[in-house]
Structure 1
Amino acid sequence: MTALSDLAAAVQDLAGAVRRLGQDPADAIRLLALLAAVGPVAATGDDGLGRAMATAEAAAAALCRRAALAALARATAAATPPGYEEAVALRDATCTLLEAEEIRAADAGDAAAALALRDLRAAVAEDLTARAADLSRLREVNVAEPLPALVHAWRLFEDPDRADEVALAAGAEDPNFIGGRFRVRGD
């Protein structure tokens, strides 16, 4: 193996390790999104050495971003968003990162990478859109007079066991007095 292929393998291993690091895929997604935003520093010199350093740094940053994006796509496939809104937000954030790298690759003349990133973005969008369709959406509740969470759970879901969920969604300090406007899962 060459030093460059060793570097590429190490960067991919790092991105994979970050993906597997957290117990929750949301942690991996958050960390990988940060890695996917890595950019090169500005060139330090205008001479040949400075330009060569800038080229090497840009290539290393692209390698890091692309490895992170590949791991991010795997992490989104493993993620289980709790509702429609979260799935759509995850899809949009991931696809935005993929599209930005796709544009960078195309601008750099790397058509093969741009095409691969476009295909990956389309696959992520298709997967999360399909999964989002089966998830519950948030619905807004507007209550004129404070009532106990138990009453809201019964009125909204005919399920008193969801009183804690209602209190949490409303951000209630006291679950016996929930009023105003809040959003709950609309199962």
Structure 2
Amino acid sequence: MAWRDQLRPASFRGVPFKVDGDELAAGRRVQLHEYPQRDKPFVEDLGRATRKVTLTAYVIGPQYMAQRDRLLAALEEAGPGELVHPHFGTLRVAADGECRVAHSADEGGMCRFSLSFVEAGELSFPAAKVNSAAQTKLKADALSTASAGDFAKAFGVAGYADFVREGAVADLTKAVSLAERVLRGGGAGGSSLLSGLLSDTDRLFGSPWALAQRVLGLIRSFTATGGGGSATTSAATGWTGVARSSPAARPLAALLHVASYTAPAPAYTRATPARQQQATNSTALAALVRRSALVHAAEVSAAADWPVHQEVIAARDELAARIDAETLRPDVPDDTFRALTDLRVAVVQDLTARSAGAARLATVTPTAVQPAVVLAYDLYEDAGRGEEIVTRNRVAHPGFVPPAPLKVLT
């Protein structure tokens, strides 16, 4: 095909015209910085320059005047329009003030145009965007405050027999020990935190609000170590069947395990006022532990990076389901119910929004036993990602990846 056959008929806003010649001004916008006593300047790149199109055009024929008037009207119309350029195709441009029209007595039946256009960009304004992670943290703080308030209203040992206080100490020891074992795996330092709490019960039992804040702080400190001790290994690895690589996955699974904690069944049968208060204390402490775990699970999910789509969706669904289970308990006060519902909405919105940019997991089966670096290069042209494949699929030896189905990032 000859080059003339590839030229397109020129027009602007649907008005055709002929073209004698054209120019296109393009390049980069730069700021030149020159310094004293320095031979070479520094050029700062400010982005691509606006493209400017100049055309030498004409209209000709018995109806050239009508066609001229139509083209003039198109040039003077407000806003950008569509220019069909013979060489560059369809462009969205705006006519600037350099367009000219000329007649000549020597060229009867035609008129010439000097057309000048600039590319038309999009008119954009700053747009507000909701910080969904920050909203999750705000709703988690609201639930934390409501949970502490509920506990302060229900818990009490003053004026009751000694067994009420002893029962509260036993319940506190059991609940905090469970959280420590699940979240820290019984790691070093956990027993000292529990001992410090129990040694301060005389003061804390007199101020249930302070006790609630202390329990909330303990669960936060346990979570900060990374979470996921041996007590929750099976739960952590079996979460929706997805092999989880996100740093927050195991701590989040451990926190959701703590969020299922229930008060131990009472060993007594007579419902005296003291026994009733003992049962109330036990129930209030269990609710505080569960909701503290939900608070910090939401904080962990909001602060974490989620590189895998399936993992963030699994985290969203598991956390939302655990919050739903807490709202369905019959002893949830109205304010706490609203705080739980608000937190669920914030968590779902946040993790759903962040799942959009996450990579997907796909199943790949190697044809033969091969090193992880070879498989990584075949998949990504990056041998350095071999460790990622080994870790995600728990391959026993990186030099011998078996010909079995493997989960890999797309």
* TM-score bucket of the superposed structures, by smaller chain: 0.7 to 0.9
1:138 is the counterpart of 2:361: yes
- Within 5 Å, give how 1:1-187 maps onto structure 2: 3-22=207-226, 25-26=248-249, 28-43=251-266, 44-48=268-272, 49-104=274-329, 107-108=330-331, 110-169=333-392, 171=395, 173=397, 175=399, 178-186=402-410
Q: Point out where structure 1 has 5 or more consecutive residues left out of the alignment.
A: none
Q: Is the 8 A contact 1:98 1:121 kept in 2?
A: yes
Look up the equivalent residue of 1:19 and give its one-letter code.
Answer: T
Name which structure has the greater RCO, CA cutoff 8 Å, separation 6+.
1
How far does residue 120 in structure 1 lie from its aligned partner after superposition?
0.4
Q: Given the two structures, how large is their TM-score scaled by the length of structure 2?
A: 0.40
Tell me if structure 1 keeps the 8 A contact 2:387–2:398: no
After TM superposition, give the deviation of residue 26 of structure 1 in Å: 4.5
Number of residue pairs matched by the alignment: 184
**TM-score, normalized by length of structure 1?**
0.81
Shift of residue 137 of structure 1?
A: 1.0
Residue 376 of structure 2 contacts residue 389 of structure 2 at CA under 8 Å; is this kept in 1? yes
Pair member with larger Rg: 2
**Preserved contact between residue 172 and residue 178 of structure 1 (Cα < 8 Å):** no
Which structure features the higher share of helix residues?
A: 1
CA RMSD in angstroms, aligned pairs only: 2.8
**Residues 19-56 of structure 1 deviation map (CA, whole Å, 9 limit, x = unaligned):** 33339644543443333222111132232233332222
Q: CA deviation at 1:116?
A: 0.8
Identity across the alignment (%): 32
Moved segments of 4+, more than 6 Å: none
